[in-house]
């Protein structure tokens, strides 16, 4: 068996034997580069040549971290190869062969895979081999071409099986006589002898079941034997198979039985040579294995093209996305889906992602966003997953690269890793500290265990592929979320009681642009993302201080449901003021509020004296606009704010009920106010000192608005 690795620069003298009779050109440096992956039988050297993927070579240009590719061209003569590494190469070649078979199956019109089906030939066209792949193919081929042989053996095995031994039946079985006719309840069959043909078939079909389950080789088994499986078959693999076959070897005389025995023995003993058919043009090779790798990843990760809307996979500008699928978004907690965009990179280990590839990936994301914005123009539901109408924020488009990587322990078990490259993520933006901006695009980079992927794809088992697809999509979502957590701090926020969140955002649109999005199941919940870079520290603290005056703002990890934490903090906090509806404020000057409030808080009614002054006339003029009652003492501290219930009315002193408290007793006219005492509204954002007064009007009631009293909130 000869091994050549795709893309490696071999000295022409090192490979002239393996490539004898084949047309491979050498460059001016007398080097030969093979750009194929697959299997080829070379009759000139009467040996098979495997072209293995370039991912076998590590960053230092070595195979298995200690061997130069040129030193293992002839596997059997490579003394530095360990037995474990040799075994790995034999099995790895099987997976590569199977991956090409599966690719050909699903892409029959492709122009990158060259295939000549192996054909049985006469004795003169056979060669000796112990290559694991050729043994497996010979087993499959034997099964395909010898169905009549199996039927003959089965017929002989079962002939006489159900004939009754009358001597033993009459002697030992209970008899019932009815109408002079004896009936034997337990007839005895003729004693069966051990049938070694049956045992050989059981071993053979157990091998076929094993290679079908493990490697995905398509086999037909129309037998009713109890096959050897599980731990018992593992014992056969670990040595008992050879032992048992040696024990029954001399029980066979026909050519077919001996050939079958030899195939089974070669399977369990990798060093045993068998004779298999060969001819000049036996090969299965791919010229551009990167296309095969892309097909693998798309089959195992992406949605099928026919499941996607037109214009997503093959985009309007002529670009084609490698992998795209719909899954739950990164930020939301409901079932609304967003499209994940991936690009597979079949590079040598250690190669960095090119700037061109990064730019193309950004373009794919922009095209997907634009595709959804076109739906927005038609008022389609899909647009809501990408853009918030209120905040003008755009959802995060998950975008990632997938590179092939060999597991250091040559394990087929692990699957996804964060890339070993220095740059693990990329970001493109027009404005800083705006994650939810349309022009902020991020890309993550992950490595996939090539061994795991190629084996899963080669097995071609729909249930296994779908199971991993669900697992890896969940993993990508979680990994991208973790990447975002390292760059941004995420908060969930909702308006305080009495605050109109939508109105606030509209008024302060520029302050929150690109920082807010609405991904949650409730429209009154917002996600706030702030860049963790230290240069934004002061900016972020200022924004949080401002927002917390009108919203409950709590840290909530991206993708988590904020409902519990926002509900709890809302129950612990005072309600805040609202900028919708009636924004008029009746300002009442009141010293010693804590004592005087005992007179009106129990009833929720108070009579505010008015005079024939400019301030009082202003109150009457805006009577229908009064929504709040503010008690103060010409100081921005110790203020008390309540919501007014209903409409205030002007009454004379005689019309006021006796139990209604009057703030002054000398007025002839009063404004009767009913206000809500169940809760006091947070008034920290109000500055009563912003309302001017004179020494004569210091104790008079005045009219103002929230906009005039609020400290910086709505005057930006």
Q: What is the 3-state secondary structure (H, E, C) of 417-485?
A: EECCCCCCEEEECCCCCCCCCCCCEEEEEEEEEHHHHHHHHHHCCHHHHHHHHHHHHHHHHHHHHHHHH
Q: Does pLDDT of 670 surpass 90?
A: yes
Q: Do the domain assignments include residue 649? A: yes
Average pLDDT of the residues in 582-605 = 90
How far apart are alpha carbons 610 and 652 in whole angstroms? Answer: 10
Nearest to 198 by CA among 189, 208, 190, 206: 206
How far apart are alpha carbons 654 and 553 in whole angstroms? Answer: 49
- Claim to verify: residue 590 and residue 685 sit in the same structural domain: yes
- Claim to verify: residue 633 and residue 590 sit in the same structural domain: yes
445-497 pLDDT, tens digit each: 888 999 999 999 999 999 999 999 999 999 999 999 999 999 999 999 998 76
Structure tokens at 593: 């509020």
Average pLDDT of the residues in 75-88 = 90
Q: Does pLDDT of 276 surpass 70?
A: no
How far apart are alpha carbons 348 and 57 in whole angstroms? Answer: 7
- Claim to verify: residue 156 and residue 89 sit in the same structural domain: no
Of 261, 286, 311, the residue that ends a domain is: 286
**How far are the Cα atoms of 505, 522, 526, 569 from residue 554, in angstroms, in the given order?**
18, 16, 11, 9
- Claim to verify: residue 99 and residue 128 sit in the same structural domain: no
Nearest to 619 by CA among 650, 664, 654, 642: 650
DSSP state of 238: I
Task: Give the residues across from 448 on adjacent strands.
Answer: 404, 416
Q: How many separate domains does the chain show?
A: 4
Structure tokens at 164: 């009754």
Q: Do the domain assignments include residue 377? A: no
- Claim to verify: residue 97 and residue 176 sit in the same structural domain: no
Average pLDDT of the residues in 334-354 = 81
- Claim to verify: residue 618 and residue 674 sit in the same structural domain: yes
Average pLDDT of the residues in 47-59 = 90
Q: Does pLDDT of 575 surpass 70?
A: no
Helix (H) or strand (E) holding 224: none
How far apart are alpha carbons 574 and 683 in whole angstroms? Answer: 10
Structure confidence at residue 191 (pLDDT): 54
Q: Does pLDDT of 119 surpass 60?
A: no
Q: Does pLDDT of 44 surpass 50?
A: yes
- Sign of the torsion angle spanned by Cα atoms 685, 691, 697, 702: negative
User: Which segment, 137-151, 201-215, 333-347, is predicted with the most confidence on average?
Assistant: 201-215
Q: Does pLDDT of 121 surpass 50?
A: no
- Claim to verify: residue 273 and residue 132 sit in the same structural domain: yes
Q: Are 442 and 522 in contact (CB under 8 A)?
A: no
Helix (H) or strand (E) holding 526: strand 525-531
DSSP state of 382: G
Q: Does pLDDT of 421 surpass 80?
A: no
The residue assigned the tokens 């005072």 is 574
Structure confidence at residue 573 (pLDDT): 63
The residue assigned the tokens 């066979």 is 252
Structure tokens at 374: 């076109």
Of 248, 277, 306, the residue that ends a domain is: 277
Q: How confident is the model at residue 314 (pLDDT cuts 50, 70, 90)?
A: confident
| 324 Cβ contact list (under 8 Å, min separation 6) | 302, 303, 308, 312, 313, 339, 340, 341, 342, 368
Q: Do the domain assignments include residue 546? A: yes
- Claim to verify: residue 96 and residue 141 sit in the same structural domain: no
- Higher-pLDDT residue of 35 and 385 is 35
- Higher-pLDDT residue of 423 and 667 is 667
Q: Does pLDDT of 350 surpass 70?
A: no
- Claim to verify: residue 138 and residue 254 sit in the same structural domain: yes
Average pLDDT of the residues in 158-166 = 65
| 178 Cβ contact list (under 8 Å, min separation 6) | none
On average, the pLDDT of the chain sits at 85
Q: How confident is the model at residue 379 (pLDDT cuts 50, 70, 90)?
A: low
| 389 Cβ contact list (under 8 Å, min separation 6) | none
Q: How confident is the model at residue 359 (pLDDT cuts 50, 70, 90)?
A: confident
Average pLDDT of the residues in 93-109 = 92
- Claim to verify: residue 617 and residue 499 sit in the same structural domain: no
Q: Do the domain assignments include residue 549? A: yes
How far apart are alpha carbons 673 and 646 in whole angstroms? Answer: 9
Average pLDDT of the residues in 329-342 = 84
Structure confidence at residue 499 (pLDDT): 72
- Claim to verify: residue 128 and residue 260 sit in the same structural domain: yes
Output b/e per residue, 618-651; b: 16+ Cβ within 10 A.
ebeebeeebbbbbbbbeeeeebbbbbbeeebeee
Residues 590/596/600/601 CA torsion (nearest 10 deg):
100
Instruction: Kindly report which listed range (65-74, 136-145, 349-358, 568-577) carries the lowest average pLDDT score.
Output: 568-577
Structure tokens at 356: 């061109």
Instruction: Kindly report which listed range (89-93, 253-257, 330-334, 661-665) carries the lowest average pLDDT score.
Output: 330-334
Q: How confident is the model at residue 4 (pLDDT cuts 50, 70, 90)?
A: very high
- Higher-pLDDT residue of 220 and 348 is 220
**Residue 486: how many CB atoms within 10 A of its CB?**
9
Q: How confident is the model at residue 574 (pLDDT cuts 50, 70, 90)?
A: low
Structure tokens at 454: 């190629």
How far apart are alpha carbons 97 and 102 in whole angstroms? Answer: 9
Structure confidence at residue 619 (pLDDT): 94
Prediction pTM value: 0.72
Q: Does pLDDT of 298 surpass 80?
A: yes
Q: Reduce the DSSP state of residue 198 to 3 states and report it.
A: helix
Structure confidence at residue 272 (pLDDT): 58
Q: Do the domain assignments include residue 359? A: no
Q: How confident is the model at residue 572 (pLDDT cuts 50, 70, 90)?
A: low
Q: How confident is the model at residue 374 (pLDDT cuts 50, 70, 90)?
A: low
What's the domain range around 535?
488-572
Give the β-pairing of 283-286 and 113-116: antiparallel
Burial (0-12, 13-18, 19+ Cβ within 10 Å), 654 = exposed
% pLDDT > 70, the chain: 89
Of 236, 259, 286, the residue that ends a domain is: 286
Q: Are 432 and 390 in contact (CB under 8 A)?
A: no
How far apart are alpha carbons 418 and 435 in whole angstroms? Answer: 22
Q: Do the domain assignments include residue 336? A: no
Q: Do the domain assignments include residue 330? A: no
- Domain harbouring 534, CATH code: 3.30.70
Q: Do the domain assignments include residue 480? A: no
- Claim to verify: residue 107 and residue 83 sit in the same structural domain: yes
How far apart are alpha carbons 338 and 395 in whole angstroms? Answer: 9
Nearest to 383 by CA among 437, 338, 328: 338
- Higher-pLDDT residue of 126 and 350 is 350
179-192 pLDDT, tens digit each: 888 887 777 776 55
Query: Residue 16: left (phi > 0), alpha (psi -120 to 50), or beta?
Result: alpha
Average pLDDT of the residues in 6-13 = 91
% pLDDT > 90, the chain: 42
Average pLDDT of the residues in 545-572 = 87
């Amino acid at each position: 068996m000869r091994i050549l690795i795709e893309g490696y620069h071999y000295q022409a003298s090192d490979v002239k034997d393996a490539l004898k009779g084949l047309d491979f050109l050498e460059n001016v440096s007398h080097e030969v580069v093979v750009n194929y992956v697959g299997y080829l039988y070379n009759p000139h050297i009467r040996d098979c040549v495997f072209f293995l993927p370039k991912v076998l070579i590590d960053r230092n240009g070595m195979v298995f971290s200690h061997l130069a590719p040129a030193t293992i061209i002839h596997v059997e003569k490579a003394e530095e190869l360990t037995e474990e590494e040799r075994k790995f190469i034999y099995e790895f070649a099987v997976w590569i062969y199977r991956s090409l078979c599966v690719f050909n199956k699903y892409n029959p019109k492709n122009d990158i895979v060259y295939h000549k089906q192996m054909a049985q030939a006469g004795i003169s066209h056979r060669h000796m081999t112990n290559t694991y792949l050729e043994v497996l193919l010979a087993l499959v081929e034997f099964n395909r071409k010898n169905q009549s042989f199996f039927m003959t053996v089965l017929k002989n095995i079962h002939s006489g099986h159900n004939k009754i031994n009358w001597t033993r039946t009459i002697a030992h079985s209970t008899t019932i006589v009815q109408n002079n006719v004896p009936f034997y309840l337990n007839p005895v069959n003729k004693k069966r002898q051990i049938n070694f043909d049956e045992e050989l078939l059981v071993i053979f079909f157990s091998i076929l079941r094993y290679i079908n389950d493990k490697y995905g080789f398509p086999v037909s088994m129309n037998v009713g034997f109890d096959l050897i499986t599980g731990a018992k078959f593992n014992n056969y693999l670990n040595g008992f198979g050879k032992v048992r076959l040696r024990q029954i070897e001399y029980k066979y005389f026909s050519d077919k039985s001996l050939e079958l025995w030899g195939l089974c023995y070669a399977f369990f003993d990798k060093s045993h040579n068998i004779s298999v058919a060969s001819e000049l043009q036996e090969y299965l090779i791919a010229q551009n294995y990167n296309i095969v790798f892309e097909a693998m990843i798309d089959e195992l990760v992406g949605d099928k093209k026919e499941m996607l809307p037109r214009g997503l996979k093959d985009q309007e500008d002529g670009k084609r996305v490698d992998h795209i699928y719909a899954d739950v978004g990164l930020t939301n907690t409901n079932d609304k889906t967003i499209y994940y965009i991936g690009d597979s990179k079949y590079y040598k280990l250690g190669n960095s992602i090119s700037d061109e590839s990064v730019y193309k990936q950004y373009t794919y994301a922009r095209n997907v966003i634009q595709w959804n914005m076109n739906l927005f123009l038609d008022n389609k539901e899909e647009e809501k997953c990408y853009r918030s109408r209120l905040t003008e924020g755009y959802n995060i488009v998950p975008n990632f690269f997938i590179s092939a990587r060999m597991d250091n322990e040559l394990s087929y078990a692990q699957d996804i890793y964060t890339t070993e490259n220095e740059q693990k993520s990329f970001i493109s933006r027009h404005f800083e500290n705006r994650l939810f901006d349309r022009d902020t695009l991020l890309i993550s980079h992950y490595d996939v265990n090539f061994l795991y992927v190629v084996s899963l794809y080669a097995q071609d088992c729909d249930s296994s592929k779908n199971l991993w697809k669900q697992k890896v999509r969940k993993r990508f979502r979680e990994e991208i979320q973790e990447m975002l957590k390292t760059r941004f701090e995420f908060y969930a926020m909702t308006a305080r009681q009495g605050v109109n969140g939508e109105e606030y955002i509209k008024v302060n649109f520029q302050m929150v642009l690109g920082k807010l999005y609405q991904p949650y199941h409730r429209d009154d919940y917002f996600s706030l993302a702030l860049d963790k870079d230290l240069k934004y520290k002061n900016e972020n603290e200022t924004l949080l201080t401002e927002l917390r005056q009108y919203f409950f703002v709590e840290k909530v990890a991206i993708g988590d449901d904020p409902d519990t934490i926002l509900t709890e903090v809302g129950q612990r906090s005072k309600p805040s003021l609202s900028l919708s509806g009636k924004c008029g404020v009746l300002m009442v000057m009141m010293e010693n509020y804590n004592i005087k409030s005992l007179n009106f808080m129990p009833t929720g009614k108070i009579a505010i004296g008015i005079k024939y002054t400019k301030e009082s006339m202003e109150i009457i003029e805006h009577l229908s606009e009064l929504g709040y009652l503010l008690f103060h003492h010409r100081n921005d501290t110790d203020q008390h704010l309540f919501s007014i219930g209903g409409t205030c009315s002007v009454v004379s002193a005689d019309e006021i009920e006796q139990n209604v408290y009057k703030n002054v007793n000398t007025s002839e006219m009063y404004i009767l106010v009913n206000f809500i005492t169940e809760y006091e509204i947070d008034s920290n954002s109000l500055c009563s000192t912003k309302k001017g007064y004179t020494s004569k009007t210091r104790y008079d009631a005045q009219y103002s608005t929230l906009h005039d009293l609020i400290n910086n909130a709505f005057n930006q």
